[in-house]
Structure 1
Amino acid sequence: MKSNLPTLKIIEPSFGSSFTLTKYDINYNSHFWHYHPEIELIYVNGGAGKRQVGSHISYYTNGDLTLIGSNLPHCGFTDETTGNKNEIVIQMKPDFLGEHFFEIPEMRNIKDLLQQAKSGITFGGKTKRKIGKKIAKMEDKTPFERLLSIIEIFNELELATEDATVLNAEGFRMEMHVQDNERINSIFNYVKDHFKEPIRLEEIAEKVSMTVPSFCRYFKKITHKTFTKFVNDYRLVHACKLLAEKPISISAIAFESGFNNFSHFNKTFKEFTGKNASEYRYELKSFLE
């Protein structure tokens, strides 16, 4: 029987190092829902794909740079269609430099960054390009040089407020020791597996043994979104992905993304992206070229 719970990943530091740095030259197809106590900095070098962190879902282009806090559930960022050159993942425990290291005055800003990362942060613009190059160079450095680099990178990310986007609302937390997380993650995985089909509120509420009103209140309290908006966002991001990757008609994309009403798709897509699907595809194609 397939489990809908997020999988706990066990991560061991590299030999002679307090954190791990892993480069994937072949796409790391890890789209299962998982979490781990380690903080994770992900750099996708080029390409485009789906970003799902907590209750946030979006589509990235021209690579990605995202910082994910401890125990924040997420899916992998690349698959066989991403088109990236490589992916570098840096992972460390929150206390990888000692229990009180980030308490010293010089580290206060980095401590604030790692606290904010519990909601997930993505970085764009010049920061993505600049930090991406620094991460790529870390592969050839000694363990000591890597350690200095990661502290320097964290410091620069904390200062890059204009290029930073927090992915989940303040107060959003899905730490795995909380009793209700099994329920919310079961819901997330159900949407991930069934978003192309109609999903009735009665159906999902029954799945988690709740009445519809109780379920709606519960979901909004945990995610700061209504369930309908969460499902629509998931479908719209999938539509963005198809617009970039598949030369099929927009109406076919709408139906393949779970929208049975083309007019409703057009309306919600424009509300979500600020432009209609044809404009979005044209601008994305021009940008990628």
Structure 2
Amino acid sequence: MKHLRGLDCSIPYHVHDAHELILIRSGSGSFYVGNAIRQFQTGDVFLLAPGVPHWFRCDRAAVRDSDEYEFVVLQFYKSFLGEEYFDLPEHGMLKRLFGAEGLALSFEGLTRDSLAELLLSLPQAIGQRRLMLVLWILAALGDNPQCAPLHQAISTDIELGGKTSLDHIQTYVADRLRDRIYLEDVAELLNMSVATFCRYFKQSTGRTFVDFVQEMRIEHACALLRATSLPIREVSEDSGFHSMAHFIRLFKRLKGLTPQAFRKMFA
């Protein structure tokens, strides 16, 4: 467990293989999680699954000399009580917290102080008491119906056309991001007409194929903006956009800020 306090509790960009529970006991700012950029404020509670990239950046402009940020962070492995513990019928409410890989959840309606009291008691607890505290914390989360995903992961385990899973479609798109992708070619992979493919894809994924391609291109652009110093125009072209204006407009709609502002957040 980590207890971060001070005028700046910013958490740098990182990924880890444990679940992470974060309580914002005081403070505000912005954070990047999965494929979304959000704002955080005092009282927010987040549960991040293993493998979800994230960082938190405090809003220094809003800080006064008397203010102090305070984050309480708990990392744990789902298997800390055994691989099948949370699959038991009596833990149905908890199981939903671990039901989707790459998921990040936010919670509302929790009592900040009571949750903080449980978390801050962990370092002094030993033996079974520590395990019980963790279970009480998870039970409080599992019993809370007001939880929502922080970002929309691109799922690839959906079967389309019988044996063809969405990861095959994703691979096809990823290999052709710089090129124009035609619905006729993708539909042919599944031996479907364009109309049937579009309808089936929307029913299976909840999004249109065009939206799916745009999301993949923007995620590719995000990776380039984070890891390279390529000019924005080259990022746009490498991500398959033939119009710089369209790229910036779509990026801002999906991410809430411009590509330039996104890159500065990782500088």
TM-score (norm 1): 0.52
Alignment pair present for 1:102 and 2:91: yes
Alignment pair present for 1:90 and 2:91: no
Cα shift at 1:271: 2.0
Deviations 1:112-157 (A, max 9, x none): x617945964136999xx99xx7xx89xx86984575256235336
Q: Aligned residue for 2:58?
A: none
Computed over aligned residues only, the root mean square deviation of the Cα atoms, in angstroms, reads 5.0
Cα shift at 1:27: 7.1
Q: Aligned residue for 2:186?
A: 204
Cα shift at 1:90: 2.9
Q: Tell me how far apart the structure 2 counterparts of residues 199 and 146 of structure 1 sit (CA, whole Å).
A: 52
Q: Aligned residue for 1:237?
A: 219
Q: Aligned residue for 2:166?
A: 184
Alignment pair present for 1:221 and 2:203: yes
Q: Aligned residue for 1:155?
A: 140
List alignment gaps of at least 5 residues for structure 1: 1-25, 31-40, 52-57, 69-75, 104-109
**Structure 1 residues 60 and 272, CA gap change in structure 2 (3 angstroms):** closer
Q: Tell me how far apart the structure 2 counterparts of residues 145 and 215 of structure 1 sit (CA, whole Å).
A: 52
Q: Aligned residue for 1:194?
A: 176
Q: Tell me how far apart the structure 1 counterparts of residues 238 and 21 of structure 2 sit (CA, whole Å).
A: 26
**Structure 1 residues 267 and 116, CA gap change in structure 2 (3 angstroms):** same
Identity of aligned residues (%): 21
> What secondary structure, in the 3-state scheme, does the structure 2 residue paired with 1:260 have?
coil
Letter in 2 for 1:101: E
Is the 1:269–1:277 Cα contact (8 Å) retained in structure 2?
yes
Is the 1:59–1:240 Cα contact (8 Å) retained in structure 2?
no
**Structure 1 residues 236 and 114, CA gap change in structure 2 (3 angstroms):** same
> What secondary structure, in the 3-state scheme, does the structure 2 residue paired with 1:102 have?
helix
Is the 2:198–2:209 Cα contact (8 Å) retained in structure 1?
yes
Q: Tell me how far apart the structure 1 counterparts of residues 32 and 107 of structure 2 sit (CA, whole Å).
A: 17
**Structure 1 residues 230 and 97, CA gap change in structure 2 (3 angstroms):** closer
How many aligned residue pairs are there? 212
Letter in 1 for 2:263: R
Deviations 1:94-128 (A, max 9, x none): 9525643236xxxxxx35x617945964136999x
**Structure 1 residues 98 and 241, CA gap change in structure 2 (3 angstroms):** closer
Q: Tell me how far apart the structure 2 counterparts of residues 151 and 179 of structure 1 sit (CA, whole Å).
A: 44
Q: Tell me how far apart the structure 2 counterparts of residues 215 and 91 of structure 1 sit (CA, whole Å).
A: 38
> What secondary structure, in the 3-state scheme, does the structure 1 residue paired with 2:180 have?
coil
Letter in 2 for 1:90: Y
Is the 1:205–1:211 Cα contact (8 Å) retained in structure 2?
yes
Q: Tell me how far apart the structure 2 counterparts of residues 89 and 272 of structure 1 sit (CA, whole Å).
A: 31
Letter in 1 for 2:243: N
Q: Tell me how far apart the structure 2 counterparts of residues 234 and 50 of structure 1 sit (CA, whole Å).
A: 16
Letter in 1 for 2:259: A
Structure number with the higher strand fraction is 2
Kindly report which structure 2 residues correspond to 1:51-70, keeping only aligned pairs within 5 A, or say none: 51=34, 58-59=35-36, 65-67=47-49
Counterpart of 2:149 (choices 165, 190, 198) is: 165
**Structure 1 residues 146 and 270, CA gap change in structure 2 (3 angstroms):** same
Deviations 1:36-66 (A, max 9, x none): xxxxx64499xx9884xxxxxx2569xx953
> What secondary structure, in the 3-state scheme, does the structure 2 residue paired with 1:214 have?
helix
Kindly report which structure 2 residues correspond to 1:11-160, keeping only aligned pairs within 5 A, or say none: 42-43=19-20, 51=34, 58-59=35-36, 65-67=47-49, 77=52, 90-91=77-78, 96-97=85-86, 99-102=88-91, 110-111=93-94, 114=96, 117-118=99-100, 121-123=103-105, 145-146=130-131, 149=134, 152-153=137-138, 155-156=140-141, 159=144
Q: Tell me how far apart the structure 2 counterparts of residues 144 and 197 of structure 1 sit (CA, whole Å).
A: 58
Cα shift at 1:251: 0.4
Cα shift at 1:216: 0.6
Counterpart of 1:274 (choices 248, 256, 259) is: 256
Q: Aligned residue for 1:11?
A: none
Deviations 1:147-170 (A, max 9, x none): 7525623533654947x426559x
Cα shift at 1:261: 2.2
